[in-house]
Structure formats: structure tokens, C-alpha cells
Amino acid sequence: MERDGQHDFDFNVGVWKTHIKRILNPLSGSTESMELNGTVTVRKVWGGRAQLEEIEANGPKGHWQALTLFLYNPAARQWSQTFASSKVGKVTTPSIGEFKNGRVELFSADTFEGRSILVRAVWSDIMPDAHRYEEWYSADGGATWAPAFVANLTREKP
């Protein structure tokens, strides 16, 4: 019997302090970035087959709010992630993938500054009270990847 991954994202449930580093032009090779600090609140939906994540952060351009929806597909044994910021007000194309070897990797096709790119979302360094989330962009079909977004999360103490 194949493994049921429905609980793969259980580590993510709760309230987290986050420090975010957004690379401003990731495909240029530049490391110029913007940093934000805030809170991420994640709750289970549909008995754990979905999660809703609310992000509130402050940075040099003011207050930022976003939502992430994680959905589990039991037939494929894969997770999808869609994202929406309050500024743009539209949902992204889902990233899809699974948990393997202690980390989660999800992939999607997207556009950045008018260019078609691939996006790789990675959760790593997963511990009970901390984890890391990263997004990487590729403009060459996945041959090379540039860091675009890094969030280090630490669980809030009740």
C-alpha cells in the first residue's frame, strides 16, 4: 500500500513568527533584497485534507497581507499550493508536489516580468518549532535556479 501523505503539512499548523527575505530581481543574479517581519497563522480545513495560511508582515513598503491554500489530492497523493496577496487580489497557478526525504517540494509554471518561468517551492529544516520556506525561479526550464524568496519561521509559544 502506498503512503498516505494527508498529514505531510501537519508541521505547518499553528502560529509562527516569520522573517522574510524577498530578492527584488532574482533572475538578474542580483542579491538586492527587501526584508519583512510578521506572523503566519495556519489552520487545518476539511479534517486535515486542506490548510489555510494567513500571512501578515511589515517591511519597507508597509503592511503586507496574503493567503495560501494547501489542498491534498488523495488519488495522486500530492499537495497543491495556491497563493493570493491582498494587493493583487488574484490566486496564483497551483504549485504541485509532495513530501520526500524530510522536505516538501512543489513545482509550477508562472510568469515573472513577462517571462515564462518555473517556480520551485521548498520546505526544509523542518523541526517541531521551526522550518524554512524558499521559492526558486528558473528561466531555462529548470537547468538553473535562482533564489527569489526565503522565510524562516519560528513557532510562537502559547
pLDDT at 21: 97
Residue 28's identity, in one-letter code, is S
Provide DSSP, 15-82. Answer: EEEEEEEEESSGGGT---EEEEEEEEEEEEEGGGTEEEEEEEEEETTEEEEEEEEEEEETTTTEEEEE
**4-31 pLDDT, tens digit each:** 888 899 999 999 999 999 999 999 989 9
139 DSSP assignment = S
% of the chain exceeding 90 in pLDDT: 83
**43-72 pLDDT, tens digit each:** 999 988 999 999 999 999 899 999 999 999
Give the mean pLDDT of 124-128: 96
Beta-bridge partners for 58: 37, 63
Would you say 80 and 95 are in contact if contact means Cβ atoms under 8 Å apart? yes
pLDDT at 3: 73
% of the chain exceeding 70 in pLDDT: 99
**66-109 pLDDT, tens digit each:** 999 999 999 999 999 999 999 888 898 999 999 998 899 999 99
